[in-house]
Amino acid sequence: MPVIDARGLVKRYGDLVAVGGISFSVESGEVFGMLGPNGAGKTTTLEMLEGLRRPDAGTATVLGADVVREARAIKARIGVQLQATALPPLTRVREAIDLFGALFPTCRPTEELLKDFDLEAKAGTYATELSGGQMQRLSIALALVNNPDVVFLDEPTTGLDPQARLNIWDVIEGVRQRGKTVVLTTHNMEEAERLCARVAVVDHGSIVALDTPASLISAHAPGTTIDFDAPNGVDAQRLAGLDGIDKVTANGRVAVTTRAPERVLRQLLDPAATWLRRSGDGQEVAIRDLRVRQGTLEDVFIALTGRSLRT
Amino acid sequence: MRAGLRNRVAMFFTLGLAFLFMVIFGLLFGGNNFSVTYGVVDSDHSPQSQKFIGALGGIHGVTTTVESKGQALNDLRNNHVDVVVEIPQGFGAALGNPGGAQVTVRPTQASQTSSTASVADQILAEVLNGFTANGARSAVVLAPPATSAVNKITAIDYFLPAMIAYIILQSGINYVAIGLADLRARKVLRRFRATPLRPVQILGAQIAGGALTVVLQLLVLIVAGLLLFQAKVYGSWLVALVPMVLGIGAFVGIGFLLTSAARTSESARGLSTFVAFPMMFLSGIFFPITTLPSWLQTVVHVLPLTWLTDAMHRVMNDGVGLADIALDCLVLAAWAVVTFAIATWRFRWD
């Protein structure tokens, strides 16, 4: 039986449909990601599963319990980290853990959590004085205070610097290794790719694709992209005629999509085949700053919605 | 468990504020320092008016200056006198009438002396009442009425109950309205909602915390008033406790209601000032209500602070029992019940 089973969840705010019929299920021990831009409905979906918002239509169960009728029972068994976490004013780190621990029937020892989340040195610090990364570690620690089976993390790394982000990724990986089921939202494709066993791509309140990151990429963003600067310009038509090339775009940087990157690269860089590298007026083309990259979830999102995630 | 989320530094300032209030008012009006100067314009020139002026001047801390109207008004503008009292022609004759006699009072415009003016009015009214009652019968007894509280109460005695009412108003509304709206805006309430706590526990803890803050402030205020400034209380504290508790209920309820009405913590802040400020001036704490136009007096008599102030004055200054302030208590209780009911019904979590 899945740990989470959502069927046709709908949430409207007046005329605005925040979530327009979302269905998915999450298996035990899985890290499940919801990837999408701001306002896609990720947070609302999560809050319906956490028993914080009542769905207008559809049903969902978490750990076998109905999210509307058995919300309190669910809240005791899940861990929640809300977006933009805040604590009561002037709460110290240790007090926060003690306080939240006291709100649950069972809780983990405060010292253990401080140690696990590398907050021992900050135990007496006011939460408001923590760095972004430390605050995020604290709010994930608070989500785990009741030793839950399922943990919901809403944008756990948004607004963090790259180093703090890597640190949080390690933390989440550690949570997974303890056998917890994790549901997280993100608009960072790298995060989804790296952490999640499966990813639901969410846009305008619906899931537009749901699979493992690798399957999503091979289905929606297959092939390799080779891109480079061509200061003298390039004859896109002649380039497109090259063996193994699927697509050429040349606005600013020249980008070539191919499923045979080795062959294309060899032809592109062959010193004997200079005719390939001629721009419209016959001048020799200079290739600068050449990069080769695999398809990413970003490409998947663009392919599925026609828009970039980073808007 | 729930009280664990009070914060200590803010508490220090909060209690310090109550203490500061008492000290400032205590120093301004405390003990023997209190004085009020009446500019008296006698248009009657009767023996009765002379005796009235004498009676007024006989009160401790009161100075009277008899002068012409123009001179008196000039002194009032220059702050040489606190209040101008005009004794109209026919004052002496009117004393014998069942309706009694009247004097006209002009307080100063300067706001810093308004509290003085408020006491001055109270003193004047009491002297005139006593004078009229006795004078109507014999016109001989001119000593200030011995049974009237105003002869015994000093300004600090008068201000302690008023300050109690004021603290209940300010803190009751502010701590709950702003505190709750703030926690809501910063999603702290939402975070607690994601725990097995029941909604009533979350809100109850915050509201109880606000009420507790008010109680602690009152303790500081009262202790400072009694010990530092020797305020005298003529009524029973047990009786005084009833309107205080109901008053806290009413104003905390208003605070809760404002949180429900406001969307952001900024608007909660604005709203609570908007509600508390006029009430403060219209409910007899700084100005006597009798100086207001009559239509406004009707409005004022609906406001809970009017009833709370009235009850506190009557218990603490006049020493009346619970039966005499039953109506005040009833009105305060009604405010508490109605505001809590509406606030609970309209409350939004985000």
**Mean of pLDDT values over B217-226:** 88
* B135 pLDDT higher than 60: no
Q: Is the domain of A206 the same as that of A249? A: no
Q: Using CA atoms, how far apart are residues A49 and A30, in angstroms rounded to an integer?
A: 16
* pLDDT band of A211, cuts 50, 70, 90: very high
Provide the residue type at B20 as one letter. L
Per-residue pLDDT reduced to its tens digit, B182-211: 888 888 888 999 888 888 888 888 888 888
Q: What is the pLDDT of residue B306?
A: 87
Cα B93 versus chain centre, distance: 35
Domain endpoint, select from B112, B133, B151: B151
Nearest CA in chain A to B190: A52
Q: Using CA atoms, how far apart are residues B234 and B148, in angstroms rounded to an integer?
A: 12
Evaluate whether B82 touches B34 at the Cβ level (below 8 Å). no
**Residue B343 Cα, gap to closest chain A Cα (Å):** 20
Judge whether A117 lies within some domain. yes
* A57 pLDDT higher than 60: yes
Q: Is the domain of A199 the same as that of A256? A: no
Q: What is the pLDDT of residue A180?
A: 93
* B230 pLDDT higher than 70: yes
* B291 pLDDT higher than 80: no
**Mean of pLDDT values over B255-266:** 87
**Mean of pLDDT values over A107-121:** 90
- Looking at per-residue pLDDT, the higher value among A125 and A306 belongs to A125
- Looking at per-residue pLDDT, the higher value among A57 and B109 belongs to A57
Q: What is the pLDDT of residue A62?
A: 95
Q: Is the domain of A195 the same as that of A179? A: yes
Residues of B in contact with A50 (CB under 8 A): 194
Distance set, CA B348 to CA A81, A193, B179, B328 (Å): 21, 37, 15, 32
Q: Is the domain of A173 the same as that of A37? A: yes
**Residue B111 Cα, gap to closest chain A Cα (Å):** 36
Q: Is the domain of B279 the same as that of B222? A: yes
Q: What is the pLDDT of residue B147?
A: 31
Report the share of chain B in percent with pLDDT over 70. Answer: 71
Q: Is the domain of B210 the same as that of B109? A: no
Judge whether A282 lies within some domain. yes
Show the domain range for B170: 3-27+154-346
**Among A89, A95, A100, beta carbon nearest to B195:** A100
Q: What is the pLDDT of residue A33?
A: 95
Evaluate whether A291 touches A301 at the Cβ level (below 8 Å). no
* B117 pLDDT higher than 60: no
Q: Is the domain of B161 the same as that of B210? A: yes
- Tell if the CB–CB gap between B191 and A86 is shorter than 8 Å: yes
* A198 pLDDT higher than 90: yes
Residues of B in contact with A100 (CB under 8 A): 195
Q: Is the domain of A49 the same as that of A180? A: yes
Give backbone dihedrals phi and psi of A126, rounded to 5 degrees, phi first.
-65, 140
If you ran DSSP here, which 8-state letter would residue A126 be given?
B
* B177 pLDDT higher than 70: yes
* B122 pLDDT higher than 90: no
Residues of A in contact with B195 (CB under 8 A): 75, 100, 103-104
Dihedral sign from CA coordinates of B256, B257, B258, B261? positive
Give backbone dihedrals phi and psi of A143, rounded to 5 degrees, phi first.
-70, -20
Nearest CA in chain B to A49: B194
* A84 pLDDT higher than 60: yes
* A276 pLDDT higher than 80: no
Residues of B in contact with A51 (CB under 8 A): 194
Nearest CA in chain A to B191: A82
Winning range, highest mean pLDDT, from A208-212, B110-114, B216-220: A208-212
Residue A260 belongs to domain with CATH number: 3.30.70
Q: How many domains does chain B have?
A: 2
**Residue A128 Cα, gap to closest chain B Cα (Å):** 12
- Tell if the CB–CB gap between A103 and B197 is shorter than 8 Å: yes
Q: What is the pLDDT of residue A270?
A: 77
Contacts of residue A101, defined as CB under 8 A and 6 or more positions apart, other chains included, come to A107, A108, A110, A145, A146
Q: What is the pLDDT of residue B8?
A: 47
Domain endpoint, select from B151, B166, B195: B151
Q: What ipTM was reported for this prediction?
A: 0.82
Give backbone dihedrals phi and psi of B156, rounded to 5 degrees, phi first.
-70, -35
* H-helix segments, A66-131: 71-77, 93-102, 110-116
Q: Is the domain of A195 the same as that of A241? A: no
Mean pLDDT value across chain B: 76
**Residue B183 Cα, gap to closest chain A Cα (Å):** 7
**Mean of pLDDT values over B254-271:** 87
Q: Is the domain of B251 the same as that of B122? A: no
- Interface list for A 134-173 with B (CB within 8 A): none
What is the phi-psi region of residue A284: left when phi exceeds 0, alpha when psi lies from -120 to 50, beta otherwise? beta
Residue B55 belongs to domain with CATH number: 3.40.1710.10
Interface test with B, best of A82, A98, A110 (most B CBs within 10 A): A82
Winning range, highest mean pLDDT, from B76-85, B241-250, B278-287: B241-250
CB burial readout B199-234, b (16+ within 10 A) else e: eeebbebbbebbbebbeebbebbbebbeeebebebe
Evaluate whether A254 touches A239 at the Cβ level (below 8 Å). yes
| Neighbour tally for B301: CB within 10 Å | 14
Interface test with A, best of B2, B5, B175 (most A CBs within 10 A): B5
Q: What is the pLDDT of residue B148?
A: 31
Half-sphere exposure of A164 (CA within 13 A, CB side): 15
Evaluate whether A44 touches A11 at the Cβ level (below 8 Å). yes
Tokens of A159: 């607004």
Judge whether A304 lies within some domain. no
Nearest CA in chain A to B2: A99
**Among A72, A84, A95, beta carbon nearest to B196:** A72
User: 3-state SS string over A212-230?
Assistant: CHHHHHHHHCCCEEEEEEC
Mean pLDDT value across chain A: 88
Q: Is A80 on the interface with B (CB under 8 A)?
A: yes
- Tell if the CB–CB gap between B187 and A76 is shorter than 8 Å: no
Q: Is the domain of B23 the same as that of B169? A: yes
- Tell if the CB–CB gap between B191 and A105 is shorter than 8 Å: no
Question: Which residues partner with B87 through β-bridges?
Answer: B42
Compute and round to an integer the Cα radius of gyration of chain A: 24
Q: Is the domain of B218 the same as that of B328? A: yes
**Mean of pLDDT values over A242-255:** 82
- Tell if the CB–CB gap between A103 and B196 is shorter than 8 Å: yes
Cα B308 versus chain centre, distance: 8
**Residue B171 Cα, gap to closest chain A Cα (Å):** 18
- Tell if the CB–CB gap between B10 and A89 is shorter than 8 Å: yes
Q: Is B188 on the interface with A (CB under 8 A)?
A: yes
Tokens of A41: 């409905």
Judge whether A90 lies within some domain. yes
Judge whether A300 lies within some domain. no
* B253 pLDDT higher than 80: yes
Residues of B in contact with A102 (CB under 8 A): 1, 4
Nearest CA in chain A to B5: A88
Q: Is the domain of A50 the same as that of A119? A: yes
Show the domain range for A243: 223-294
Q: Is A102 on the interface with B (CB under 8 A)?
A: yes
Q: Is the domain of B238 the same as that of B335? A: yes
Q: What is the pLDDT of residue B75?
A: 73
**Mean of pLDDT values over B303-308:** 89
Evaluate whether B229 touches B30 at the Cβ level (below 8 Å). yes
CB burial readout B95-111, b (16+ within 10 A) else e: beeeeebebebbbbeee
Per-residue pLDDT reduced to its tens digit, A9-27: 999 998 899 999 999 999 9
Unique residue bearing structure tokens 């846009």: A203
pTM across the whole model? 0.72
Q: Is the domain of A267 the same as that of A206? A: no
* A165 pLDDT higher than 80: yes
- Tell if the CB–CB gap between B183 and A52 is shorter than 8 Å: no
Interface test with B, best of A11, A54, A77, A90 (most B CBs within 10 A): A90
Per-residue pLDDT reduced to its tens digit, B27-71: 665 544 566 778 888 888 888 788 888 887 877 777 888 888 777
Q: Is the domain of A109 the same as that of A175? A: yes
* B9 pLDDT higher than 60: no
Domain endpoint, select from A189, A218, A247: A218
Domain endpoint, select from A218, A252, A276: A218
Report the share of chain B in percent with pLDDT over 90. Answer: 10
Residue A76 belongs to domain with CATH number: 3.40.50.300
- Tell if the CB–CB gap between A52 and B198 is shorter than 8 Å: no
* pLDDT band of B137, cuts 50, 70, 90: very low
Q: What is the pLDDT of residue A42?
A: 93
Q: What is the pLDDT of residue B350?
A: 76
Least confident residue range of A162-166, A226-230, B12-16, B255-259: B12-16
| Neighbour tally for B279: CB within 10 Å | 22
Q: What is the pLDDT of residue B111?
A: 31
- Tell if the CB–CB gap between A90 and B9 is shorter than 8 Å: yes
Q: What is the pLDDT of residue B6?
A: 46
Q: Is the domain of A27 the same as that of A168? A: yes
* pLDDT band of B81, cuts 50, 70, 90: confident
* A92 pLDDT higher than 70: yes
* A75 pLDDT higher than 90: yes
Q: Is the domain of A75 the same as that of A164? A: yes
Judge whether A305 lies within some domain. no
- Tell if the CB–CB gap between A82 and B187 is shorter than 8 Å: yes
